[in-house]
Amino acid sequence: MKLCPKCSQPFTPRKQNGINISKFCSDCQWIIKKEKHQKQVLKRREERKKETRKRKREDKSKSNLVFGKKVWATFIKYLKAKKSKGKEYACCYTCGRQFSIKELQGGHFKHRGRTKWKAIDFEFNHIQLQCSECNFAKSGEEYEFGKRLEQDFGEEWVREIIYRRNTEEPLTYEQLLEIKDKYEKLYDELQHQNSV
Q: Please tell me the predicted confidence (pLDDT) of residue 95.
A: 92
35-64: average pLDDT = 82
Please state, rounded to an integer, the average pLDDT across all residues of the chain: 86
> Considering only CA atoms, which of 105, 115, 181, 114 is closest in space to residue 141?
105
138-162: average pLDDT = 90
For residue 192, what are the contacts with CB-CB under 8 A and spacing of at least 6? none
> Considering only CA atoms, which of 103, 145, 98, 151 is closest in space to residue 126?
145
Taking the C-alpha atoms of residue 157 and residue 126, their distance in angstroms, rounded to an integer, is 10
Contact 13, 22 (CB under 8 A): yes
Of 13-27, 28-42, 55-69, the one with minimum mean pLDDT is 55-69
How does strand 105-108 pair with strand 127-130?
Answer: antiparallel
**Ranges of each domain in the chain:** 87-171
